[in-house]
Amino acid sequence: MPKGYWVAHVDVDDMVRYKDYVAANAAPFAEFGARFLVRGGQKEVREGQTRARTVVIEFRDYATAKACYDSVSYQDAKALRDPVSTGDMEIIEGYGS
């Protein structure tokens, strides 16, 4: 079964307050078995435009990726992120098994 992924591109306006979101998302990510593949880091944009920060999170499957996002515990964490950042995020099914 293909894995599920969150792919996010984010601009953070207040890194101090954003760290509250990072602390709060630890519990739902642990609960749903999330694994960070990319979390910020050095990058070079070769085509098009993107935001300052890129995050890729892997889940055991697409359904689990969606369930994590929809969970009360993640939505509570997201409420801390929304006022201090702007972003684009998609949940996507991986290729193959």
What is the tens place of the pLDDT at every residue in 9-56? 999 999 999 999 999 999 999 999 999 999 988 999 999 999 999 999
CA atoms within 13 A on the CB side of 42: 0
- pLDDT at position 97: 63
Q: What is the mean pLDDT of the chain?
A: 96
Tell me what percent of the residues of the chain surpass a pLDDT of 90.
95
Q: What is the pTM of this model?
A: 0.93
Cβ(92)–Cβ(4) under 8 Å? yes
